[in-house]
Structure 1
């Protein structure tokens, strides 16, 4: 299958989505996509978390002690079809929110949904 650069532009987001499709992930099925924003302090993270909750976003907040410096991470969970334009729009919104709250947007990710044809075999009913 050749790559449709309108659906999968030649950038980080397009490359990830193209690879997901190439791996057999069904991009027409909604996924829970996780967007992350990092903060240098708990107070800044909590301020942003309250804003996101008021915007009716599903979030989690945790301290990442494994990074080189102590960071607080907000993960925003958005249930959506992994569509390039929608992902870019949300990224821009989360980047703006991060900037307004002295944080740093840290990207997105999601679980892949890959099914084998055998997973959908129908049982005959007599």
Structure 2
């Protein structure tokens, strides 16, 4: 196990997630599809925000979260980028400002892990959750 580089992985939530990805063997030099989410209690505001983001040429999805206690509309913005700390922080600030403009709440980011196992043979498939 290597020591954490606090320049690359600062001591906060974003740094912790990126450090965990690195520890898990995720290649952070590869571009990932990172998802930033905004939650809305108003369908009208969610749709206005979605339209704005589409005009900004962003790849998005909009769905209703029926599972939450109060009905929420969730916009997910999909950014294809290297998961680099300062870029993530900058995008969080941008998404937070947009969320506030449309009475939404920034709800965090996430992405799929990109872990490659060099020992996989041609006839083997990568490990999956379906065992």
Q: Displacement of 1:120 after TM fit?
A: 8.1
Matches within 5 A, 1:1-126: 1-119=2-120
Superposition misfits of 4+ residues, deviation over 6 angstroms: none
**Gap runs ≥5 in structure 2:** 123-131
Q: Deviation digits for residues 88-117 of structure 1, max 9, x if unmatched?
A: 000000000000110000000000011111
Q: Displacement of 1:119 after TM fit?
A: 3.8
Alpha-carbon spacing, 1:120–1:59, altered in 2? closer, same or farther (3 Å): farther
1: CA distance, partners of 2:68 / 2:117: 37
Count of aligned residue pairs for this structure pair:
121
**Gap runs ≥5 in structure 1:** 122-126
Structure with greater helix share of residues: 1
Q: Deviation digits for residues 41-95 of structure 1, max 9, x if unmatched?
A: 1101000000001111000000000011100000000000000000000000000
* Secondary structure at 1:117 match in 2: coil
TM-score by length of 2: 0.90
TM-score by length of 1: 0.93
User: What is the Cα-based RMSD across aligned positions, in Å?
Assistant: 1.1
